[in-house]
């Protein structure tokens, strides 16, 4: 009798343990509600060093500056077809500064929009449209270009369920608009750190590390010469809170560094020789859902 009772108790304990473990498992999907709209406050700081190395010359010119911006973004679900969601991210404007040689000045932030298609595993599959507006839109792409096109492209959910401590990896290509280096063969590794609450939402707290080569084909600029292929590497990490019940990014904070180079040849300007241009950049980003 005692043996039967003990065997039954042991079996019950095993079932309870299994059920408890499963109760703390979660399935991560990107299936937001139709027409959902959410607003975010995003801050980004970028430190950039540009080195110019003339061909056949050992001299180098280094230019270093920093850019910091604070912007408002709005994200809206436009349509859902099967397992793909079309999302529009609007850049609503903000403020920014640039610092160089100890001098700081204010800069304008363009408004704009990007439409991106994202699958159920939160992978951006296609950039449908990107538009920047305002007088700042004609400048070289700044942090706002990242905000518009990389909104949810540095992570991907696994197919199965997860428990705290589980890890998963992925490898994919990030689609970007013309003129920006393509991140091919992006490798990511993520870990579910905690199931917690933030802003009253049930969230999965996740840390993701990512890395991948940067590629951009060269271009012929006619009378202004030519630019050789851009090559380099991107790597970084991101800690983020994801409302897995409503498919909403609640908060994210991380950093990334870029190291890339390209060769410029031809009549770039009076006294400007053929040269290699190397760029090193460190960027820190923080985003939070507006309450």
DSSP E strand boundaries for 30-82: 37-54, 61-81
CA distance 144 to 18: 47
Per-residue pLDDT, averaged over 220-249, amounts to: 81
Q: List the alpha helices (DSSP H) in the chain.
A: 2-23, 143-149
Q: Which of 170, 166, 139 is nearest to 153 (CA)?
A: 170
Q: So where are the chain's domains? A: 27-289
Model pTM score = 0.79
The pair of structure tokens assigned to 148 is 């518009």
Here the tokens at position 55 are 């061909």
| Eight-state DSSP code of residue 8 | H
Mean pLDDT of 26-52: 92
Identify the pLDDT of residue 222.
54
- DSSP labels for 129-163? EEEEESGGGGSSP-HHHHHHH-TT-S----SS-B-
Per-residue model confidence as pLDDT tens digits over 72-109: 989 999 999 999 999 998 988 899 999 998 899 998 88
The closest alpha carbon to 231, from 258, 257, 204, belongs to 258
Check if the beta carbon of residue 96 is closer than 8 Å to that of residue 139: no
Collapsing DSSP to helix, strand or coil, 249 comes out as: strand
Rounded to whole angstroms, the Cα distance separating 130 from 143 reads: 14
Rounded CA separation 181/37 (Å): 30
pLDDT of residue 12: 43
- pLDDT the model gives residue 108: 85
């Amino acid at each position: 009798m005692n043996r039967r009772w003990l065997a039954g108790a042991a079996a019950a304990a095993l079932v309870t343990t299994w059920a408890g473990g499963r109760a703390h498992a979660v399935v991560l999907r990107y299936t937001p509600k139709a027409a959902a709209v959410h607003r975010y406050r995003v801050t980004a700081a970028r430190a950039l060093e540009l080195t110019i190395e003339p061909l056949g010359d050992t001299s180098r010119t280094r230019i270093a500056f920093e850019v910091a911006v604070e912007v408002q973004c709005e994200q809206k679900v436009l349509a859902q077809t099967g397992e793909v969601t079309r999302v529009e991210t609007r850049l609503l404007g903000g403020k920014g500064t640039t610092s160089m040689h100890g001098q700081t000045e204010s800069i304008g932030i363009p408004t704009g929009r990007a439409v991106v298609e994202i699958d159920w595993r939160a992978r951006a599959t296609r950039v449908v449209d990107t538009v920047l507006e305002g007088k700042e839109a004609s400048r070289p792409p700044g942090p706002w270009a990242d905000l518009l096109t990389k909104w949810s492209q540095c992570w991907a959910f696994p197919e199965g369920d997860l428990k705290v401590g589980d890890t998963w990896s992925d490898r994919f290509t990030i689609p970007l608009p013309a003129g920006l280096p393509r991140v091919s063969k992006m490798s990511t590794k993520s870990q579910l750190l905690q199931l917690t609450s933030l802003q009253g939402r049930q969230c999965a707290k996740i840390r993701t590390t990512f890395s991948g080569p940067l590629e951009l084909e060269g271009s012929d600029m006619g009378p202004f010469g030519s630019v050789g292929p851009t090559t380099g590497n991107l790597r970084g990490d991101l800690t983020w809170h994801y409302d897995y019940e409503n498919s909403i990014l609640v908060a994210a904070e991380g950093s990334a560094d870029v190291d890339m180079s390209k060769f410029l040849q031809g009549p770039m300007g009076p006294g400007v020789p053929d040269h290699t241009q190397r760029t090193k950049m460190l960027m820190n980003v923080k985003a939070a859902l507006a309450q």
